[in-house]
Copies of this chain bind each other. A is one copy, B any other.
Amino acid sequence: MRFTFLGTSAGTPTRRRNVTGLALSCDESRDWYLVDCGEATQHQLLASPYSLAKLRAIFITHVHGDHCYGLPGLIASANMSGRTAPLTICAPDGIEQFIRAAFLYTDISELRFPLEFVRSDATEFHFEDAQVAVTATALSHRVPCFAYRFEERPPRHLLEEKLDTRAVPRGPLWNQLQRGEDVTLDDGRVVPASEMTADAWPPRSIIVGGDNDRPELLEDAMRRSQVLVHEATFSEDVLAKVGPKYMHSTAAMVAKSAARSELPNLLLTHFSQRYRLGDGDHVEHSIEDLRREAQQHYTGTLFMAKDLETYQILRDGKVVPLTG
């Protein structure tokens, strides 16, 4: 699995960082998923390998503009580029209305592809396709906000010993089982695919959080995942000054929760625009300050997200940056 940060700035863009968006794909597949879609997400995609034609689904964490104002333009561009495949949008209440209103008032009466809306604030929310299974966890923010946990669905390999024990003849029936279809033998016995196959490798999973001032809400999910991408809008000293009203996390808060959950890989993002990429005397607030704050509480693998940086989750669950 790999993922690319399309924006790492909280609230407003800066000259070098866009507002929130993250692209996620499964290994070699060109199909991909988008989590959040701040303004100019489609612009960032032009500088990435992800194609609008191959976008399978969009997941929006919450209705704040820096997480969703890129939706009308991205969908309109997909439409103009001739996309016909359906597009699923999983989002809390408000996002479907926002998109429909945008199209109503801007002369888009019909798209060339169906938009399928799924309410991610519904208790039974669950998204699944051939590649991933996605669930949501409610967070704590000024509006309903969610984290999405993506678990990959690895290819299944055949358990040959079991097939021999059950005397399933090699050939088309094995292929059928590998595709996940149960088979019926000549003697009438039904052989379920789930028992005759196993994941080719342990499924990897990643949580991508929205805005949240209680990272501990994700500890259960973290214990079952290799990776967390979470906001760290402020450092502790800045939070002490601005106060809790914006309902964001500090680097320390997230680091402590990740440490308690024994999470192996933590990626911090959504930095207030006051934090600069550089370090040194001329920079009052630096993203390096946030890194140092997190490192005081967390000894796992830690990355500070940068726009257009891509990371790979290896099959053993390690996370490595991909260069170039």
Task: Give the shortest distance, in Å, between A265 (CB) and chain B (any CB).
Answer: 30
Does any Cβ of B come within 8 Å of A215's Cβ?
A: no
Q: B-facing mask of A68-106, CB < 8 A → 1, else 0?
A: 111011001100110000000000001101100110111
Does any Cβ of B come within 8 Å of A320's Cβ?
A: no
Partner among B19, B43, B63, B108 whose Cβ is within 8 Å of the Cβ of A18: B43
Is the CB–CB distance between A80 and B39 below 8 Å? no
Partner among B14, B18, B73, B101 whose Cβ is within 8 Å of the Cβ of A65: B73
For A70, A98, A108, A142, the residue with the greatest tally of chain B CB atoms inside 10 Å of its CB is A98
Cβ < 8 Å to B, chain A residues 1-40: 11-15, 18-19, 39-40
Per the bound structure, the CA–CA distance linking A19 and B43 in Å amounts to: 10
Q: How many copies does the complex hold?
A: 2
Is the CB–CB distance between B73 and A72 below 8 Å? no
Is the CB–CB distance between B39 and A106 below 8 Å? no
Interface residue count for A (Cβ, 8 Å)?
Answer: 39
A68 to chain B: closest residue by CB: B106
Is the CB–CB distance between A95 and B105 below 8 Å? yes
Does any Cβ of B come within 8 Å of A238's Cβ?
A: no
Does any Cβ of B come within 8 Å of A240's Cβ?
A: no
Task: Give the shortest distance, in Å, between A276 (CB) and chain B (any CB).
Answer: 14
Which residues of the partner chain B approach A143 to less than 8 Å between Cβ atoms?
A: 107
Is the CB–CB distance between A69 and B14 below 8 Å? no
Is the CB–CB distance between A106 and B80 below 8 Å? no
A40 to chain B: closest residue by CB: B40
- Chain A residues close to B by CB (< 8 Å): 11-15, 18-19, 39-40, 42-43, 46-47, 63-66, 68-70, 72-73, 76-77, 80-81, 94-95, 97-98, 101-102, 104-108, 142-143
Can you list 18 A-B contacts (CB < 8 A)? Answer: A12-B42, A12-B77, A12-B80, A12-B81, A13-B46, A19-B73, A43-B43, A64-B107, A65-B73, A65-B76, A65-B102, A65-B106, A66-B73, A66-B76, A68-B106, A69-B106, A94-B106, A107-B142
